[in-house]
Amino acid sequence: RVKRKGVDTSVTTKPQMTSTGIHDIGGLEEEFGPIDLREHGYQLWEMQVHATLVLLSQQGLLTTDELRRSVEALPGHTSMTYYHRWAAGMTAICIERGTFSAADLNLAHGEPEKMIGQQSLVVGQVVRVRREDSRVRWRKPHLRTPGYLFGAVGVVERFLGCFPNPEEKAFSSNQEPGTQPLYLVAFKNKDLWEGMEMHGEDGITAEIYQPWLDIIDEKNEANEDTKVVRDIKVVSSKVDHGDHVHDTRYETEAEALRRETVHDDPIGKKTGEVLLKVLLEKKVLDINKIQEVVEKMDSTGKMLLGQQLVVRAWTDPEFKQRLLDDGNAAAEELGMVASNANAPTKFLVMENTLSTHHLIVCTLCSCYPSSILGMAPSWYKSRSYRARAIREPRKVLLEFGLILPKEMSLVVHDSTADCRYMVLPKRPKGTEGWGEKELMGIVTRDCLLGVAVPRQK
């Protein structure tokens, strides 16, 4: 049963657990052990690869959705480190666009149909996420709807605006992509996971595009198949597509976890260096611009602009309300650009209260408010965190040393599309007379992601 903001509707089925590809790992916590909370510093080549994405995007030579699509389709996806995949994906897109060559590559899956949509859903409306046929998931184009939500029933919490259709943007075209309305939809954990003990009010929000949402018809709801079983296990047989074979999910996820423990990646380093060398030789990029972006990313992580936003919100109630209403505009008041450099993004700030705690994750890749928080920590990008945070969030928080009261609701925000999230933590008691510097000292990056809370030192 879903009950949110006065809406109450019976749910007679459990959504079918499917996957859009090897990157879509939300809810597969059985495949993983504890999250590695150790911090791993970034090597120069990794930061240069990140800078390359920023500059290519700014020049209109690559979109974030193109990179996602390319990375998700890499034959060696699970055997590569994070920035190795970025470097290989960007290389493929550059070749595809003709940045390195005059030859254009045929699109394997064809151009998605151009769609222009207008808002048709309202806040409070009960909706069901459309189901996906998992048998053809390897042939699907780039999707931004995570498989663990296929068939799930939720409630529209917020209209986020209209954005270019990512399923169309993922394939380079001379035509402007159509736009689609994007909504923040809330789901109850107990309605998502079969056979799991869930806190009654714990939930998840995800950004879902309008074509993936169906309005619930209460008259036909009773006719839904009640025998659908949500099962996160994947059959042990391999997936044969004639010209290539995919390993089982268990094998590929286990290999991915093993690879994540190895930080050195000479092949990825070489891939990134060759990509940059070609772009410099073609005069597509300038080495000085690369260095500028690298230095900015490094300093952003040290300045932690999110601290400033939190302290201002704690001391200025009117600013706090503006921050919650429109994060981008509020950040701009302080001279900050909250949208990520490589793609326009909406900055959403979620306020922790006495009754609700918020947690941020991206199950499909690792979407992160880098313009505000700097480079993402390694644990945030790990497959363990991405898989487990939406299924057993309280156990995940326990590994970070955070225990929430049983009466407190926990809402997980899955950053699946064009939004980036930050948590506005609750100001601790006893800090009323503190100055700005003292307050900033207790606001950590982990607090802004929801895996920690500010504590008096």
Are the beta carbons of 256 and 72 closer than 8 angstroms? no
| Residue 83 CB partners (closer than 8 Å, separation 6+) | 45, 46, 49, 50, 265, 268, 272
Lowest mean pLDDT, pick from 61-65, 368-372, 373-377: 373-377
Residue whose C-alpha is closest to residue 387's, from 414, 427, 424: 414
Q: Which residues are catalytic?
A: 362, 365-367
Burial class (CB in 10 A: 0-12, 13-18, 19+), 430: exposed
Enumerate helices (H) and strands (E) in the chain, giving the number of each.
17, 13
Q: CA torsion angle for 52, 57, 62, 67 (degrees, to 10)? A: 70
Report the distance separating Cα 412 and Cα 393, nearest Å: 8
More confident residue, 349 or 416: 349
- Three-state SS at 352: coil
Tell me phi and psi for residue 113, to 5 degrees.
Answer: -65, 135
Percent of the chain at pLDDT > 70 equals 68
Model confidence at 353: pLDDT above 90 = yes
Q: What is the pLDDT of residue 407?
A: 93
Burial class from Cβ neighbours inside 10 Å (0-12, 13-18, 19+) for residue 388 reads buried
Q: Is the dihedral of CA 95, 97, 100, 105 positive or negative?
A: positive
Q: At 396, phi and psi to the nearest 5?
A: -60, -45
Chain segment 105-137, per-residue pLDDT in tens = 333 233 444 556 788 899 999 999 987 543 333
What are the beta bridge partners of residue 409? Answer: 356
For residues 85-112, average pLDDT: 65
- Degrees, nearest 5: CA angle 356-376-397: 35
Q: What's the pLDDT tens digit per position in 374-411?
A: 888 888 888 888 888 998 999 999 888 899 999 999 99
| Burial track 288-302 (b if 16+ CB lie within 10 A, e otherwise) | eebeebbeebeebbe
End-to-end alpha-carbon separation of the chain, Å? Answer: 42
Q: Are residues 236 and 248 in contact, defined by beta-carbon separation less than 8 angstroms?
A: yes
Q: What is the mean pLDDT of residues 423-452?
A: 92
- The CA distances from residue 129 to 139, 153, 169, 286, in Å, are 20, 6, 21, 44
Categorize the per-residue pLDDT at 78 as very low, low, confident or very high, splitting at 50, 70 and 90. Answer: low
Burial code of 60-72, b = ≥16 C-beta within 10 A, e = fewer?
ebbbbbbbbbbbb
pLDDT tier at 295, thresholds 50, 70, 90: low
Cα–Cα distances (Å) from 243 to 92, 137, 239, 246, 298, in that order, read 20, 16, 11, 10, 43
Choice among 100-114, 311-325, 348-362, 375-389 with the minimum mean pLDDT:
100-114
pLDDT at 361 over 90: yes
- Which 3 state secondary structure label does DSSP give 127? strand
Q: What is the pLDDT of residues 133-188, one digit of tens each?
A: 433 333 344 567 888 888 899 999 999 999 987 776 765 556 677 788 999 999 99
**89, containing H or E segment:** helix 82-97
Residue 80: is its pLDDT beyond 60? Answer: yes
Question: In whole angstroms, what is the distance from residue 390 CA to residue 395 CA?
Answer: 11
Which of 230-244, 249-263, 301-315 is least confident?
230-244
CA atoms within 13 A on the CB side of 273: 9
Tell which phi-psi region holds residue 455, choosing left (phi > 0), alpha (psi between -120 and 50) or beta. Answer: beta
The contacts of residue 412 (CB under 8 Å, 6+ apart) are 202, 203, 204, 205, 358, 359, 360, 361, 389, 390, 393
Q: Which residues have a Cβ under 8 Å from the Cβ of 189 and sit 6 or more positions away?
A: 196, 198, 199, 202, 203, 204, 391
pLDDT computed for residue 117 by the predictor: 72
Q: Is the pLDDT of residue 104 over 50?
A: no
Residue 346 has φ and ψ, to the nearest 5°, of -95, 130
Q: What's CA 449's distance to the chain center, in Å?
A: 12
Q: Can you tell me the distance from the alpha carbon of 1 to that of 14, in angstroms, rounded to the nearest whole number?
A: 11
Q: What is the pLDDT of residues 217-235, one digit of tens each?
A: 755 554 444 333 333 333 3
Give the pairing type, strands 203-209 and 409-414: parallel
pLDDT at 318: 97
pLDDT band at 313 (very low <50, low <70, confident <90, very high): very high
**Across 60-64, 275-279, 345-349, least confident range:** 275-279
What average pLDDT does this structure show over 47-76?
86
